């Protein structure tokens, strides 16, 4: 411990540029953000949002939300969310020009090792939001990316155009088309492995996908990273509310999703 840590997280009121539905279930919130804040953001990190007391809702604690996009040139910070509770219902009331108090960027980002040339991203639903900035980073580093996007219905597939615009191969699987079952997903991934197009996996959110990717990862010695969630209070690391268990060596350890995560080694993660 050599010195006092530098300031890395900022609490700022940001102006809403837009807050519109992207389909029947999800909304995209675009905030105007200072360039130096955006320059600190990394794929996989999150902000802790102080949702407004609005629309009859009285959310108290901040709500962690992964960064959907950060664009220093445009001065924009994007979030993708599904309205599920008091916090997100209050968020949905935000209109152009309203202020939203954000704290961040927080947490450990995704990393892309030098020898991971072919990345495979596997996500479902809102999990695609968390992985979207990873596609941008992969593109920036010139890595090949395959994005396997799963949803209940083709109408709820998100970010697929975005992934494609960044040069990713997009594979869509939906419940409605009967293509999203685990058996089919395994075949798709095994096909990528056989073709030498899977040096590392990135995923988030789904227990079933985690188990499958761990099995395939173990089978072929392919590493991966997973972004995880947990109820949080402080978002910075003080309170130890948001721990999850992980396998490390021959024992189980509890790590804070806000601090040691939200991105973790996929093989150390424990399905829940």
Binding-residue total with other proteins (CB under 8 A): 34
Region of 110-118, 150-158, 221-229, 233-241 interacting with other proteins (CB under 8 A): 233-241
Regarding 34 and contact with other proteins (CB under 8 A), the answer is: no
Q: Is residue 54 a contact point for other proteins (CB under 8 A)?
A: no
Burial 172-196 (b: 16+ CB within 10 A, else e): ebbeeeeebeeeebeebbeebbeee
Q: Candidates 83, 236, 267, 270: give the one binding other proteins (CB under 8 A).
A: 236
- What 3-state class would DSSP assign to 124? strand
* Whether the Cβ atoms of residue 51 and residue 110 lie closer than 8 Å to each other: no
Given a contact cutoff of 8 angstroms between Cβ atoms, the answer to whether 77 and 119 are in contact is: no
Binding of other proteins at residue 171 (CB under 8 A)? Answer: no
Tell me the pairing of strands 63-66 and 69-71.
unpaired
Beta carbon nearer to other proteins, 57 or 175: 57
* Contact characters 65-104, other proteins, x per CB under 8 A: --------------------------------------x-
Question: x/- string (CB under 8 A) for other proteins, residues 179-218?
Answer: ----------------------------------------
Assess 230 for contact with other proteins (CB under 8 A): yes
**Local structure of 244: helix, strand or coil:** strand
Residue 198 · residue 121 · CB < 8 Å: no
Q: Which is nearer to other proteins, 217 or 235 (CB)?
A: 235
Q: What is the CA radius of gyration of the chain?
A: 18
| Interface with other proteins (CB under 8 A), residue from 35, 237, 247, 248 | 237
Distances (CA, A) of 57 to 114, 159, 205: 46, 29, 26
Nearest to residue 40, comparing CAs of 7, 85, 62?
A: 7
Q: What is the binding site for other proteins (CB under 8 A)? A: 1, 3-11, 50, 58-62, 103, 230-244, 254, 259
């Amino acid at each position: 411990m050599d010195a006092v840590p530098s300031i890395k997280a900022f609490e700022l009121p940001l102006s809403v540029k837009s807050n519109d539905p992207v389909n029947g279930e999800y909304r995209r919130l675009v905030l105007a953000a200072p360039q130096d804040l955006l320059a600190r953001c990394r794929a996989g990190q999150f902000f802790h949002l102080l949702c407004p007391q609005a629309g009859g809702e009285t959310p108290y604690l901040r709500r962690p939300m992964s960064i959907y996009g950060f664009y220093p040139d445009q001065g924009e910070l994007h979030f993708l969310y599904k309205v599920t509770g008091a916090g997100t219902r209050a968020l949905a009331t935000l209109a152009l020009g309203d202020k939203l108090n954000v704290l961040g960027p927080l947490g450990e980002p995704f990393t892309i090792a030098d020898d991971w040339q072919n990345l495979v991203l596997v996500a479902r639903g809102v999990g695609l939001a968390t992985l979207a900035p990873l596609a941008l980073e992969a593109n920036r580093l010139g890595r090949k990316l395959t994005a396997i996007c799963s949803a209940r219905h083709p109408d709820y597939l998100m970010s697929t155009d975005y992934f494609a615009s960044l040069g990713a191969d997009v594979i869509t699987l939906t419940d409605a088309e009967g293509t999203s079952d685990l058996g089919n997903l395994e075949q798709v991934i095994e096909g990528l492995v056989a073709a030498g197009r899977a040096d590392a996996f990135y995923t988030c959110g789904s227990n079933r996908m985690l188990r499958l990717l761990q099995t395939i990862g173990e089978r072929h010695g392919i590493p991966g990273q997973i972004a995880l969630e947990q109820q949080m209070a402080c978002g910075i690391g003080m309170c130890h509310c948001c721990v999850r268990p992980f396998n490390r060596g021959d024992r189980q350890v509890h790590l804070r999703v806000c601090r040691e995560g939200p991105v973790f080694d996929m093989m150390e993660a424990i399905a829940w």
